[in-house]
Amino acid sequence: MNRISTAARVGAFVVVMTGAAIYVYRYVSEQAGGQDGYTVYCLMKDAQGVARHSQVKMAGIPIGNVKSVRLEGGVARVDITVDKNVPLYDDASVSKVTSSLLGEYYLGLAAGTEGKRVLGDGDQVRFVTEATTTDDIMKDLSEIAADVKKVTGALAKSVGTPKGEDEIRETLANLAQITDNLNKIVAENRQTIRSVLVNVENITKKGEPEIDRILQNVRVVTQDVRDLVARSEADGVEAGELRQIVEKVNRSTSSLESALANIDTVTQRLESGEGTLGRLSKDETLIDEVQGVVEGANEFVSGISRLQTLVELRSEYQFLASTTKSYVKLRLQPREDKYYLIELISDPKGYTTYEQIDIDSTNPNDPPHYREVRTTTRNQFRFSFEFAKSVGPFTGRFGIIESTGGVGLDLLLLDDRFELSQDIFGFGEFVPFRYRVHVGYEFVNHLWLLAGVDDILSEDRRDYFLGLSLRYNDQDLRAIVPLAGSAAGAM
């Protein structure tokens, strides 16, 4: 009767966990896309940043996901699963759209012209718009920095020589002396300057009749110009054309004078070392620092654009102990062949430590010397921090596994949908160490079914488990990781 009751409880638990996992999967994984649709593909010269299972949007609304990305004929072939309710036409187009300044992308689809041939399963989207990548921007910045370096080098050769420095020093000394002399002259001749200004004012008042005569002469000259324009019009030249020619000459002269004045001002500032370019022309160290900052920014942005942040929520039911063990995992993957794994584990068995105590006793009922071994089990979370490296289908891991040192080995098959994983850990905590093996299969996108054995080498602690795991790529978390690292460093 007890066996039937246990089996009933296990069956009910599996049904409830399956329903809960499907609900969480539908709620969390917006990137899963619609399986009830059709598949089209496109060929792209650059598919960097486009990951498998990432979203595909039309007018900002998700309508499918990326089924696969692979190399075909020297270009990237991207297979796209589209919802069956969204038709695509023969002139449909696809583009790689930047969703943030960190190099994050998603695919955008345009349906095309209604009335043309409707694309079906396996058809190609022929029109592809390639996006400008952060590598292109960094390349342009590198070329600009090289040009600036050439300019500063030329300025350093002409102005930064010892002779140029001596001439500038002499010029500044002369300017200081001239300014001092002007101050002395103004102080000594203040009364004279006041008298000159008074005389100018008197002359202006007395010269009003002369100014009137000058204005009269201007009127005469203006009348003469009008007569000239009239004669030109009689000869076949329109007055408007003549007036436009004069105005254009005046504007050109004014523009040329202004441009020459600006060039003269800029040249003087460069020679004196004023402004950003002036300082760059004098300071080689500053040029090297600017170039180093540009190169560092290029490396940082490239690393962030490659980073993949994979989240896993996992729960296991252990049959013999009748308990549930839960995991929260974060995998930071900067490259295809390596990643860093961070885990937080809630284990009902707790964390067990062993303490050995040697006691010298004076009690006649006890031996004079004996040894006690105390076992302490604490109800606390375990954590893992592992480094993983992949070689073909095999992935080796080492580091801290469930708060103890350990190693692991994974085997991935069937396009990474089937895994065989084994871990060895618990050195010093258990005798013998813990050896765990499990197999997993992705029966629905992002949802895995797991089964395995824990503590195989120990008859007392051995247990069998069955579980579910939800794994997805959280692209929003990738933008938070650098900020989280900076905050942790500040703390």
Question: What stretch of H or E contains 373?
Answer: strand 369-378
Looking at 286, 318, 339, which one is the last position of a domain?
286
Q: 206: which residues sit within 8 A by CB, 6+ positions away? A: none
422 and 315 together in one domain: yes
d(CA 120, CA 366) in angstroms, rounded, equals 87
Asked whether residue 347 is assigned to any structural domain, the reply reads: yes
Asked whether residue 429 is assigned to any structural domain, the reply reads: yes
What's the confidence (pLDDT) of residue 481?
Answer: 62
In DSSP notation, 282-348 reads H-HHHHHHHHHHHHHHHHHHHHHHH-EEEEEEEEEEETTTTEEEEEEEEEEEEETTEEEEEEEEE-T
What is the total residue count of the chain? 491
- Calculate the CA 81 to chain-centre distance: 27
d(CA 245, CA 242) in angstroms, rounded, equals 5
Total domains in the chain come to 3
What's the confidence (pLDDT) of residue 212?
Answer: 74
d(CA 159, CA 163) in angstroms, rounded, equals 8
Mean pLDDT, 10 residues at a time, the chain of 491 residues = 65 80 59 67 87 87 91 91 92 84 77 91 89 71 82 69 75 86 80 76 70 78 71 58 65 69 70 64 62 60 70 92 90 89 84 69 76 67 91 93 91 92 82 88 93 89 92 77 55 49
457 and 318 together in one domain: yes
Convert the pLDDT of each residue in 405-429 to its tens digit.
899 999 999 988 999 999 998 876 6
Asked whether residue 24 is assigned to any structural domain, the reply reads: no
Residue 40 is part of a domain; what is its CATH number?
2.40.30
Asked whether residue 11 is assigned to any structural domain, the reply reads: no
d(CA 110, CA 91) in angstroms, rounded, equals 9
Q: Say which residue the tokens 């496109």 belong to.
A: 42
Question: What stretch of H or E contains 458?
Answer: none
d(CA 482, CA 491) in angstroms, rounded, equals 14
366 and 411 together in one domain: yes
d(CA 328, CA 483) in angstroms, rounded, equals 21
The two structure tokens encoding residue 478: 């990738």
pTM of the complete model: 0.39
Asked whether residue 25 is assigned to any structural domain, the reply reads: no
What's the confidence (pLDDT) of residue 441?
Answer: 95
Q: Say which residue the tokens 């004196």 belong to.
A: 272
341 and 480 together in one domain: yes
419 and 329 together in one domain: yes
Amino acid sitting at position 418: F
Looking at 131, 156, 187, which one is the last position of a domain?
131
* Domain that includes residue 281, residue range: 142-286
β-pair partners for 353? 376
Convert the pLDDT of each residue in 326-350 to its tens digit.
999 999 888 888 999 999 998 877 6
Burial class (CB in 10 A: 0-12, 13-18, 19+), 336: exposed
Closest CA to 352 of 407, 404, 398, 408: 404
Asked whether residue 241 is assigned to any structural domain, the reply reads: yes
219 and 275 together in one domain: yes
| Contact between 53 and 88 (Cβ < 8 Å) | no
Question: What stretch of H or E contains 431?
Answer: none
Asked whether residue 4 is assigned to any structural domain, the reply reads: no
Q: Which whole-number Å values give the CA distances from 45 to 77, 85, 93, 217, in the listed order?
A: 9, 29, 15, 76
330 and 277 together in one domain: no
Phi-psi region of 27 (alpha: psi -120 to 50; beta: other; left: phi over 0): alpha
Asked whether residue 21 is assigned to any structural domain, the reply reads: no
In DSSP notation, 117-140 reads PBP-TT-B--EEEPPPPHHHHHHH
134-158 and 275-282 helices, crossing angle to 10° = 70
Residue 369 is part of a domain; what is its CATH number?
2.40.160
d(CA 140, CA 30) in angstroms, rounded, equals 36
Looking at 227, 257, 286, which one is the last position of a domain?
286
φ, ψ at 36 (rounded to 5°): -90, 75
153 and 91 together in one domain: no
466 and 322 together in one domain: yes
What's the confidence (pLDDT) of residue 169?
Answer: 79
276 and 336 together in one domain: no
**Helix and strand numbers, DSSP H then E, in the chain:** 9, 19
207 and 126 together in one domain: no
391 and 277 together in one domain: no
| Contact between 325 and 348 (Cβ < 8 Å) | yes
